[in-house]
Amino acid sequence: MSKTDKKLVIFSDIDVEKALKSALQKSRPDLINEVRDSGLKGRGGAGFPTAVKWNLAAAAQGDRKFVICNADEGEPGTFKDRLLLTDYADQLVAGMVLAGYAVGAKEGIIYLRAEYAYIRKDLEATLEKMRGKKLLGKKIAGKDNFEFDVHIHMGSGAYICGEETALIESLEGHRGEPRNRPPFPVTVGYLGCPTSVNNVETFITVLHIVEKGAKWFKSYGTEKSTGTKLFSVSGDCDKPGVYELPMGISIKKLLETVGGEDAKAVQVGGASGTCVPRKDFDRVIAYEDVSTGGSIIVFGPFRDMLEVAVNFMEFFCDESCGQCTPCRLGTETLLEGLDMLDEGKCSLKYLRELCSLGETMQVSSKCGLGQSAPNAFLSIVENFKSEIFDSRCTCR
């Protein structure tokens, strides 16, 4: 696992203990305001403003509140949280303490991806160490009425449990299936209590922002997408790995950085993201253009795009929780359509119907999984129609 040499925000040096202690000297509103001023949006993929989420959780009524770290990292092609969990665990826990302070929660939970079980021991050691330093537990940093502790809960290997309400269901011991929203977890979450669910990277970024200031953070990125972001780069490039890059970077520039200039397409945002063809490499990675939770998969000139689409669709068929109709059966139908395309048996009319079905899935599925499941299919059909259709179809 490599990472960039340049230390921008997340990888910049920080004294965790000092940063946490001084942050806790701020009032709660001041702390949240700092985060708001930074313009930070959630790093888990959905891009919801972190300060707004915390404010809602802080304002929600409840004797018990929770802060949950979403460490289920299941999006194909992302592995940046793994790096953070291994090498920057103390920063993560400190960020969670800040969240607990901001929203008024005493309990934090790290929902750890089943495949990351091997990290658990080190994480526990970090927690223990921080308890020893009084950075966790009662009277943190000498504050009389502030206590916060964190425990780890192991996931069981379902991608859908990265979706925050399914994660909560799973925590409660149920099938990992997304809930209806509203109400959102910030008001009715784990055990019915106000809950803020945030990504690993989000917590760490907050720690840096509060220590070094919103202004400093905003010096990176674009107006709407402030700061830097971690990218997990994989696929047909010379230097795969985890990169910290400013938001708003063009795909072209990113490819230059990772040695993937000859790419034919780039999948931004993992299986649920979009497939950007070469002609669009000037587009930028930002919430206002092509957004991503961090996954960048590079497809070299010899990749068969139909195979790529099949691969993603198989993933969704396996990982759909099966709860709602459009996703449960739409994923299967699109996959069957891809097989038909491969055999040259898909008529243009049926292909159009499938694309229309894809739109239905986007708008009528219950959760983000089903809503984004057809993205790859739709963008590949749109951009590589001649490759996947014209060259194979025998039935026109």
For ligand SF4, the closer CB: 145 or 156: 156
For another protein, the closer CB: 110 or 160: 160
DSSP for residue 148: B
Strand, helix or coil for residue 274? strand
In angstroms, what is the minimal distance from the CB of 174 to another protein?
4
CA distance 136 to 108: 10
In angstroms, what is the minimal distance from the CB of 330 to ligand FMN?
15
Regarding beta strands 149-154 and 107-112, do their DSSP bridges make them parallel or antiparallel, or are they unpaired?
Answer: parallel
Question: Quick one: what does residue 74 bind among ligand FMN, ligand SF4, another protein, none, with the CB cut-off 5 to 8 Å set by partner type?
Answer: ligand FMN
Cβ atoms < 10 Å from Cβ of 215: 11
CA distance 296 to 234: 6
Site for ligand SF4 in 319-358 (CB under 6 A): 320-324, 327-328
CA distance 49 to 46: 9
Tell me which stretch binds ligand SF4 (CB under 6 A): 98-106, 263-271, 298-306, 314-322: 314-322
CA distance 266 to 109: 34
DSSP for residue 273: S
Strand, helix or coil for residue 112? strand
Torsion angle of alpha carbons 375, 379, 384, 390, nearest 10°?
70
Tell me which stretch binds ligand SF4 (CB under 6 A): 42-50, 60-68, 204-212, 317-325: 317-325
Place of tokens 């409840």: 62
Amino acid at 239: K
Q: Which of 195, 202, 232, 320 binds ligand FMN (CB under 6 A)?
A: 202
For another protein, the closer CB: 297 or 369: 369
Does 169 bind ligand FMN (CB under 6 A)? Our answer is no
In angstroms, what is the minimal distance from the CB of 19 to another protein?
33
| C-beta nearest to ligand FMN: residue | 42
CA distance 148 to 169: 23
Those residues with Cβ within 8 angstroms of residue 323's Cβ, 6 or more apart along the chain or in another chain: 177, 178, 366
CA distance 132 to 358: 53
Tokens of residue 343, six digits: 């055999």
User: Are 247 and 228 in contact, with CB atoms under 8 Å apart?
Assistant: yes
Q: Which of 32, 136, 290, 369 binds ligand FMN (CB under 6 A)?
A: 369
Quick note: the x/- pattern for ligand SF4 over 107-146, rule CB under 6 A, is: ----------------------------------------
For another protein, the closer CB: 139 or 175: 175
Site for ligand FMN in 43-82 (CB under 6 A): 43-46, 48, 50, 70, 72-75
In angstroms, what is the minimal distance from the CB of 351 to ligand FMN?
26
**Contacts with another protein, residue ranges (CB under 8 A):** 61-64, 158, 160, 165-166, 168-169, 172, 174-175, 177-180, 182-183, 188, 191-193, 316-326, 328-333, 336, 353, 356-357, 359-360, 362-366, 371
Tell me which stretch binds ligand SF4 (CB under 6 A): 103-111, 118-126, 227-235, 362-370: 362-370
Site for ligand SF4 in 173-192 (CB under 6 A): 178
Q: Which of 209, 185, 205 is nearest to 196 (CA)?
A: 185
User: Are 116 and 73 in contact, with CB atoms under 8 Å apart?
Assistant: yes
Question: Quick one: what does residue 251 bind among ligand SF4, another protein, ligand FMN, none, with the CB cut-off 5 to 8 Å set by partner type?
Answer: none
User: Are 230 and 10 in contact, with CB atoms under 8 Å apart?
Assistant: yes
For ligand SF4, the closer CB: 39 or 337: 337
For another protein, the closer CB: 82 or 179: 179
| C-beta nearest to ligand SF4: residue | 370
Question: Quick one: what does residue 333 bind among ligand SF4, ligand FMN, another protein, none, with the CB cut-off 5 to 8 Å set by partner type?
Answer: another protein
Tokens of residue 372, six digits: 């984004």
Place of tokens 């891009």: 47
CA distance 392 to 336: 16
Q: Which of 155, 337, 370, 374 binds ligand SF4 (CB under 6 A)?
A: 370
Q: Which residues form the interface with ligand SF4 (CB under 6 A)?
A: 160, 178, 320-324, 327-328, 365-367, 369-370
